[in-house]
Amino acid sequence: MIQNTLAVFRADNQHKLADWFEENVEECLTIIDCPPEVQRRLRTSYIMESINRQLKRRTNVISIFPSETSLLRIVTAKAMDLSDEWEGISSKAYISPDKLQQAAEVLQAASSQPQNPAA
Domain boundaries, given as residue ranges, for the chain:
1-33, 34-110
Is the whole model's pTM more than 0.75, yes or no?
A: no
- Cα 57 to its chain centre, rounded Å, is 19
**Cα 19 from Cα 36, distance rounded (Å):** 30
Q: What is the pLDDT along the chain (119 residues), one digit of tens a residue?
A: 778 888 998 999 999 989 988 898 887 777 777 777 777 777 777 777 888 898 888 888 887 888 889 988 988 998 888 777 766 555 555 666 677 777 778 777 767 766 555 44
Asked if 75 and 55 count as a contact pair (C-beta separation under 8 A), the reply is yes
**Cα 41 from Cα 43, distance rounded (Å):** 6
**Cα 5 from Cα 11, distance rounded (Å):** 10
